[in-house]
Amino acid sequence: MTAQPAIELEALSKRYGPTVGIEDLDLEVRQGEVFGFLGPNGSGKTTTIRCLVGLLTPTAGRVRVLGLDPLADHRDLAPRIGYLPGELRLYGELTGAQHLRLLGDLQGAPTPRRDELCRRLDLSARDLDRPVAGWSRGMKQKLGLVQALQHDPEVAILDEPTEGLDPLVQETFFALLDEAKDAGRTVFLSSHVLAEVQRTCGRVAIVRSGRLATVQAVEELRDARARRVRLTFAHGVDRDRVPVAAHWSPAWSERTLRLLVEGAEVVPALRRLLELPVTDLAVEEAGLDEAFLAFYRQAEAEAGTVGGRSA
């Protein structure tokens, strides 16, 4: 018997008049999975998340979280999820402690992790007793994480969770994600910071212009990703005779050429390039950032919207 998915989206569409928020999105997130939801700003991530938590009514399609409809079954589902909005807004005149009590009261469930999370995220009692109007963005984001996780939800839906966090607190946050995964909790995490997804997520969905571009395991995405190639040519090599494709993003610096070559093209490309007098060569795996950009570039080329990039 297959376990029920934590999150199911079937042909989800949300439009705001003529504007498309998200279009025909199919997605399934397994229970106990840390799932990354990637895309640039304005790609539809927040719209999708707001449909997941029942803030928006889908124009078409079906949404299920833990088998429940976020709108029709809101009162049954809401106690089981934790949510961090992408643009966290707080009541300036309330203190941090008042926020946590208020939101805990509204949650209507015990908050067993509140003190632990405040301690680990470095929110002191003194900080919590100050009105949040005087807090920094990072402090507010930490409070947002505490309110989302303090009741130990089965599914945590976090929209851009590391925004404004300093590197040390980000480390703590990544540790919290690892613990959540070990405890069988599901985390749905949206981001445009690819490194954090690479580090924390098992699978990744990439959305672009309101449409799902791909769903892949981070490892698969890594295998398919591009390579950074750096070649230094001997004196006297004519740049115009170097066989490079425009979509490799060639960039010259004196005699050194930098390229971003997609996985399958690396070996044939090097064979041709090494026919010229090369004095130095370095090939590195591109990060997920480049893989992501390469993916977009490919999609754009297929759509015929843009040509190859120039150096």
Partner 1 sequence: MRTRLPLAWLALYRRRRMLAVLAVGLFAFELLIVVVATTVPTESIFGPRQDLPVPDAFQAFSGSSGEVTLASYAGLLGAGLVHPFWIAMHLTAVGSLAAAAVAADVEQGTIELIVVRPVSRLRLLAERAGALVAACVLLHLAATLAVFLGVLAVPRLHQAVRLTGVVAAGVLGIGFSLCVAGPVLAVSAAGRRRGQVIGAGIAIGAVGFAVNFLALAWSAVDFLRFLSPFHYYVPADALVRGTVPWASLAVLLAVGAAGTVAAGRLLVHRDLAP
Residue 253 found at the interface with partner 1 (CB under 8 A): no
266 binds partner 1 (CB under 8 A): no
Contact segment (CB under 8 A) with partner 1 among 50-58, 196-204, 258-266, 299-307 equals 50-58
Range in contact with partner 1 (rule: CB under 8 A) among 24-32, 49-57, 257-265, 284-292: 49-57
Binding flag, residue 133, partner 1 (CB under 8 A) = no
Residue 70: which of 83, 56, 60, 84 has the closest Cα? 56
Least distance (Å) between residue 207 CB and partner 1: 17
Query: What CA–CA distance (Å, rounded) separates 258 from 232?
Result: 9
Does 56 contact partner 1 by CB under 8 A? yes
User: Applying CB under 8 A, does 252 fall inside the site for partner 1?
Assistant: no
Residue 178 is encoded by which pair of tokens? 């690892």
Among 17, 18, 93, 236, contact with partner 1 (rule: CB under 8 A): 93
Closer to partner 1 at the Cβ: 107 or 256?
Answer: 107
Residue 147 as a binder of partner 1 (CB under 8 A): the answer is yes
User: What's the CA gap between 75 and 70, in Å, rounded?
Assistant: 9
Q: Does 53 contact partner 1 by CB under 8 A? A: yes
Q: Are 251 and 244 a contacting pair, CB within 8 Å?
A: no
Biggest CA pair distance of the chain: 75
When asked if residue 102 is in the footprint of partner 1 (CB under 8 A), the reply is yes
Q: Does residue 74 belong to the site contacting partner 1 (CB under 8 A)?
A: yes
CB of 77 to partner 1, least distance (A): 8
Using rule CB under 8 A, residue 75 touches partner 1: yes
Closer by beta carbon to partner 1, 78 or else 177: 78
- Contacts with 303 (C-beta within 8 Å, 6 or more apart), sequence order: none
Give the C-alpha distances (Å, rounded to integers) separating 180 from 28, 125, 176: 19, 25, 6
Beta strands per DSSP E along the chain: 7-16, 19-29, 34-38, 60-65, 81-84, 155-159, 186-191, 203-208, 211-217, 227-233, 251-253, 256-261, 278-285
CA dihedral over 242, 247, 248, 252, signed as positive or negative: positive
| Interface residue list for partner 1 (CB under 8 A) | 50, 53-57, 74-75, 78-79, 81, 83, 85, 87-91, 93, 98, 101-103, 105-108, 147
